[in-house]
Every structure is written in structure tokens, then in C-alpha cells.
Amino acid sequence: MSRFEVVRTGANASGGEPATQRNIPHRGAEANPSASALQTRFSSAIKRVEVIWGETVVFVEPALAHEIIRWLHDEQSQQYDFLSDVTAVEYRDAEVPIEVVWHLRSLPYRRFLRIKAQLPKGKPLEIDSVYDIYRTADWLERECYDMFGIQFRGHPDLRRILMWESYKEGFPLRKDFPLRGRFSRSEQLRQALAQNPEARYSMEELSIADAFAELPQDMRERLSKGERTGE
């Protein structure tokens, strides 16, 4: 009937059939076994482990986050090969640090783990990129930078992704960013109208096929003086 050699995703390394979780307690459910493995391996770098609604959260030292995720990815007994998400959380309380969150999945062991690193306010928001481990991190880290202003060290192309390159209002998902934007509507409109409609290509793109040389004279002059292009 089916033209596929159908592979059931039933059996796996951890054994046992998965089932829909029911009656999950708020706190105190059984932790993911990887959490204790991490505590054994990286004792002091693991600040604390919480289990909230059945999901294990591991708080790690920001400086060692990259090394820990690298270990989770490479270690044969863990094999967290799938990066679901990279994001950040800022709390309404200004004292609470910003958290960078990685959602990791181990497809062979069918495990899910949340890694968090807390970046205190008042210091530059910087953390190592996991781009060299997961290529998924490329756009996800760019989005996180775009929305929160977190610098991912080692990301090869960290620039805005959803907002445009010359966006000046800051980082939209930060709590000090008002819902309607930082600038007034008239200022936003003025800036939009003042944008050079020709400046739709980044400098990298303008290097293709002598596109730069074909721009109008005045635009070439402005761009060569360091004006940023629109994207």
C-alpha cells in the first residue's frame, strides 16, 4: 500500500514506548537523567537544577555554557543532537537577570532538556555562540540578538534579521521598550520616508558583479562615507 519503507519511531536507545504525559506535578517530578550526569561532570558550573511541570531546567555558568552544550552534543551517553530553540527571557522585575535559554533534544534517547544561563543586568550581554555545534543557531541567535541585544561571541554573521539593519529604536523584546516603539509615530514615518529606497542591498551584496559601480553617483559617495544601507 505505502510506497515507503515505513520506519516506526517506536524503539529507541532509552527503551519503552512514549506516552502522553498526564497529571504532571508543578514541581518535583522526576528529573531528566542528563541533569545528574551534568552535575557529575561539571560539578560547580551547574548552579541548580529545577523540574517545572515535568521539564528539567539546568542553570549553568554563562562562561561554560558553550562547553556544556558541546559535551551534551558529543557525549555518547547523551547525544543531544537537535537544537530546538535559542531564545532569551527578561523578567518584569528589573533586578532579575536576563536568561538565555537553549531547548535541546536528544533524538536517539528521546529526551528534552532546557539549559539556562543568567546574564546579570548592567554588564554587557555576551555569551558564546553555539553556531559551531548546531547550524540551527545561525538564525535563532541572530533573532535573539535582534530582539534582546545579546551578543553571541563567535557567530560569523551576527546582524539583525527581522528588523532592518538601520533600525535605531533598540531591541524590541526588552522590557524597557514600549509596546508602541520608542519613537513617536511621526518620527517613525519621517525616518521611513527619509530612507533611501535604492539602499536595499547590503555592502556585501553590492560587492557582487560590480553592483556598487552601477549605483548613482551621489549614493556611491554617501555609502563610501560610511552611511549604512537599508537592509
Partner 1 sequence: MSKRTVEVELSTTGLDAQGRPQRIPILTDDGGGGLALQAPPGIEPDLEGEHMLINIGPQHPATHGVLRLVLELDGETVVRCIPHIGYLHCGFEKIGEYRQYNQIICWTDREDYLNSIGNNVAFALGAERLFGIEITERCTVLRVIASELSRIMSHLVWLGTFCIDIGAFTPFLWAFQRREEIYRLIEKWVGARLTTTATRVGGMAADIPSGWMDGLRQFIRTFPHTLDEIDRVLTKNAIWVGRTVGLGVMTPEEAINWGLSGPMLRASGVDYDVRKDFPYLDYETYDFEVPVGTNGDVYDRYLVRFEEMRQSVRILQQAADRLPEGPVNIDDPRIILPPKSKATSEMESMIHHFKVVMEGPRPPIGESYVAVESPKGEKGYYMVSDGTAKPVRWRIRPPSFVNLSAIPKMVEGHLLSDVIAINASIDIVMGEIDR
Instruction: Report if residue 103 touches partner 1, rule: CB under 8 A.
Output: yes
* Contact positions with partner 1 (CB under 8 A) in 168-207: 172-173, 177, 179, 200-202, 204-205
Instruction: Report if residue 28 touches partner 1, rule: CB under 8 A.
Output: no
Shortest Cβ distance from residue 60 to partner 1 (Å)? 16
Among 67, 75, 81, 169, the residue binding partner 1 under the rule CB under 8 A is 81
Give the distance from CA 87 to its chain's centroid. 4
Name the helix (H) or strand (E) containing 65: helix 65-74
- N- to C-terminal Cα separation, the chain: 50
Q: Pattern of binders to partner 1 over 48-67, x per CB under 8 A?
A: ----xxxx-x----------
Cα 218 from Cα 75, distance rounded (Å): 57
Instruction: Report if residue 208 touches partner 1, rule: CB under 8 A.
Output: yes
| 3-state per-residue secondary structure call for 71-133 | HHHHCCCCCCCEEEEEEEECCCCCCCCEEEEEEEEECCCCEEEEEEEEECCCCCCEEECCCCC
Q: 170-201 as b/e, with b when 16 or more CB fall inside 10 Å?
A: ebbeeeebeeeeeeeeeeeeeeeeeeeeebeb
* Contact positions with partner 1 (CB under 8 A) in 133-172: 134-136, 138-140, 143, 147, 160-164, 172
Instruction: Report if residue 31 touches partner 1, rule: CB under 8 A.
Output: no
Per CB under 8 A, residues contacting partner 1 are 2-10, 12, 17-20, 22-24, 26-27, 52-55, 57, 81-85, 87, 89-93, 101, 103, 107, 110, 112, 114, 134-136, 138-140, 143, 147, 160-164, 172-173, 177, 179, 200-202, 204-205, 208-211, 231
